[in-house]
Amino acid sequence: MLEPFTRQSKQVVNLFELVRHRQDLKQILVAEKNHLQAPSVSIIKLSCEKIIKAITEQIEAITKTIQKLTDSDPILKQKQEILKTIPGIGDIVHY
């Protein structure tokens, strides 16, 4: 028998969007690090370094926000703790 649809809580939706954005930023970070390897013009390297720093700061901020959101919701916190019992799943992977 099918279960009736239940709407996700606002915290779960926010968590999903934050995790997705964090993943997008990680991809952009990899691309920028690759760009940093190619140019021989110093101003381009400087630009890449500034972008990498800004993206890294954003990833750190989003990671903290995700952790605060998870810690503030008992159900999300419980799910986080269960996931972390699996070998290889750590603080970052469970997001």
Residue at 26: amino acid letter: K
Tokens 């028998």 -> residue: 1
Interatomic CA distance for residues 4 and 38, integer angstroms: 53
19-70 pLDDT, tens per residue?
A: 999 999 999 999 999 988 887 788 989 999 999 999 999 999 999 999 999 9
Interatomic CA distance for residues 34 and 56, integer angstroms: 15
63-94 pLDDT, tens per residue?
A: 999 999 999 988 888 888 888 888 888 776 55
What pLDDT is stored for residue 23 in this prediction? 95
What pLDDT is stored for residue 32 in this prediction? 95
